[in-house]
């Protein structure tokens, strides 16, 4: 029933360049996302320091994203935001291999991470706004990012084992060079607004948007805290880097399928948010209960379906409740003040819990936070139809 429609949307010529952009972005980012903390562990950082690095990375994005969104909307400058973000983030990430020559690399890594994160911050949310603003099926575009992340995770698992973990940085730099070319060739942007601009603070008058931010914050604490330490967990329980990459690949296969079909079968955005948060919580609960590879890999199905469902619900609901003049602002605030700020807190908490109890025991606390996010998401049904 849904197959022909999905194929038609995927072949929409307006979507092709955006599909390429998401593919390049997520392929380049996948190695760093999966193996960042393994790199930091090899450099000699503690769990707490890794958590702080992750928190700085997230908070730099949190602080930068609303600024990027407002500037992008005011100047109608989405393509320049993507180009500048890709180029400067590639420079910032080079702090990682450079830090290996330092006796005390922590502060240098903090600074490089902040630059990387602040300039990578606009790429995905601004691209989200561009896709939705043109009436292109978002799920079929975003699915290309999931496929790329899965392929990248699988390949980086093998590359890290054979070439060493610094390969994740150089792959990101190369990917951003390609992304600059892709972004510059995106379809022409629409004309600027004719009337007066809508103040960005208008978003804070929307009950639906504020509740969505709250749910995203809570889930972000669980999701990003757990994801940041997954590669460390896999090493701690005796699984290799190749299996880590394979697990991420399985997750993103299910994620890609959900991005294409979830909106076609879900009854509401509320259902997507609740299902997504519960899938994340279930994933982390399994990590705590057992480290058996078969269960860890199998639960990636729930993780992938859950992540895509939540992200689709959140991005589309933010687009619906935001004024037309604040599309990029809504997406960057959602990514920053919601998932981003929650993720910053979650990574600090996860790092501290890892130092106190061990990385496997840490996951039961993150599972509890995920279930709390699912409970909070049930309230969205009361404001989902807000004009």
Q: How many residues does the chain have?
A: 387
What pLDDT is stored for residue 212 in this prediction? 92
Give a yes or no: residue 192 inside a domain: no
What pLDDT is stored for residue 154 in this prediction? 79
Give a yes or no: residue 1 inside a domain: no
Alpha helices by DSSP H, listed for the chain, are: 3-10, 16-43, 47-75, 78-93, 95-99, 106-120, 123-133, 138-163, 167-184, 207-228, 230-236, 241-265, 269-289, 293-298, 300-321, 327-333, 341-357, 359-377
Q: How far apart are CA 283 and CA 296, in angstroms?
A: 8
φ and ψ of 105, to 5 deg: -85, -10
Give a yes or no: residue 122 inside a domain: yes
Give a yes or no: residue 138 inside a domain: yes
What pLDDT is stored for residue 375 in this prediction? 95
244 neighbors 34 (Cβ within 8 angstroms): yes
φ and ψ of 2, to 5 deg: -100, -15
Report the chain's mean pLDDT, rounded to a whole number: 86
Q: How far apart are CA 329 and CA 72, in angstroms?
A: 8
User: What CATH number is given to the structural domain containing 295?
Assistant: 1.20.1250.20
Give a yes or no: residue 46 inside a domain: yes
| Cβ-Cβ contacts under 8 Å for 288 (sequence gap 6 or more) | 360, 361, 363, 364, 367
Q: How far apart are CA 207 and CA 321, in angstroms?
A: 9
Burial category of 188 from C-beta neighbours within 10 Å (exposed 0-12, middle 13-18, buried 19 and up):
exposed
Domain encompassing residue 250: 10-187+199-381
Output the DSSP codes for 227-272: HHTHHHHHHHTT--HHHHHHHHHHHHHHHHHHHHHHHHH-S-HHHH
Q: Tokens at residue 372, please?
A: 């709390």
In angstroms, what CA-CA distances link 362 with 244, 246, 366?
18, 22, 7
> Can you tell me which residue has the tokens 């980086």?
156
Closest CA to 308 of 261, 373, 246, 378: 261
Does the pTM exceed 0.75?
yes
Count CB atoms within 10 A of the CB of residue 169.
Answer: 22
Residue 353, classed as helix, strand or coil, is: helix
> Can you tell me which residue has the tokens 């975003």?
142
Q: How far apart are CA 255 and CA 268, in angstroms?
A: 18
Residues in the chain where the model's pLDDT stays below 70:
1-12, 188-198, 241, 382-387
| First vs last C-alpha separation in the chain | 31
What pLDDT is stored for residue 8 in this prediction? 52
Give a yes or no: residue 5 inside a domain: no
Number of domains in the chain: 1
In angstroms, what CA-CA distances link 58 with 12, 272, 295, 321?
34, 24, 30, 25
pLDDT tens for 334-346 read 888 888 888 888 8
Give a yes or no: residue 330 inside a domain: yes
Give a yes or no: residue 258 inside a domain: yes
């Amino acid at each position: 029933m849904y197959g022909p429609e999905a194929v038609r949307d995927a072949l929409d010529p307006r979507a092709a360049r955006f599909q390429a952009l998401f593919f390049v972005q997520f392929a380049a980012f996948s190695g760093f996302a999966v193996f960042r903390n393994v790199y930091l562990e090899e450099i000699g950082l503690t769990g707490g320091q890794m958590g702080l690095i992750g928190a700085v990375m997230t908070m730099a994005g949190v602080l930068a994203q609303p600024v990027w969104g407002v500037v992008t909307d005011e100047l109608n400058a989405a393509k320049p935001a993507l180009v500048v973000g890709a180029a400067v983030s590639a420079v910032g990430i080079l702090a990682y291999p450079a830090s290996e020559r330092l006796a005390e690399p922590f502060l240098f890594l903090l600074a490089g991470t902040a630059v990387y994160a602040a300039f990578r911050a606009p790429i995905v949310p601004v691209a989200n706004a561009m896709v939705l603003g043109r009436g292109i099926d978002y799920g079929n575009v975003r699915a290309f990012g999931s496929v790329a992340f899965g392929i990248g995770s699988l390949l980086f698992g093998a590359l890290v084992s054979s070439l060493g973990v610094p390969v994740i940085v150089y792959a990101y730099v190369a990917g951003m060079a390609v992304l600059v070319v892709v972004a510059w060739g995106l379809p022409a942007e629409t004309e600027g607004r004719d009337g007066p601009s809508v103040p960005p603070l208008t978003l804070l008058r929307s009950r639906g948007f504020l509740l969505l931010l709250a749910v995203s914050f809570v889930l972000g604490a669980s999701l990003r805290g757990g994801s940041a330490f997954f590669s460390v967990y896999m090493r701690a329980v005796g699984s290799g880097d190749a299996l880590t990459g394979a697990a991420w690949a399985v997750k993103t296969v299910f994620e890609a399928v959900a991005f294409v079909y979830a909106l076609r079968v879900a009854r509401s955005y509320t259902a997507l948010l609740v299902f997504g948060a519960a899938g994340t919580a279930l994933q982390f609960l399994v990590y705590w209960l057992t480290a058996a590879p078969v269960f860890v890999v199998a639960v990636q199905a729930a993780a992938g379906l859950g992540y895509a469902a939540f992200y689709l619900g959140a991005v589309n609901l933010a687009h619906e409740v935001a004024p037309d003049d604040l599309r990029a602002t809504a997406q960057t605030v959602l990514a920053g003040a919601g998932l981003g700020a929650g993720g910053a807190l979650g990574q600090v908490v996860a790092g501290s819990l890892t130092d106190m109890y061990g990385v496997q025991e840490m996951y039961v606390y993150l599972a509890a936070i995920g279930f709390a996010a699912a409970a909070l998401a049930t309230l969205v049904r009361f404001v989902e139809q807000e004009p």
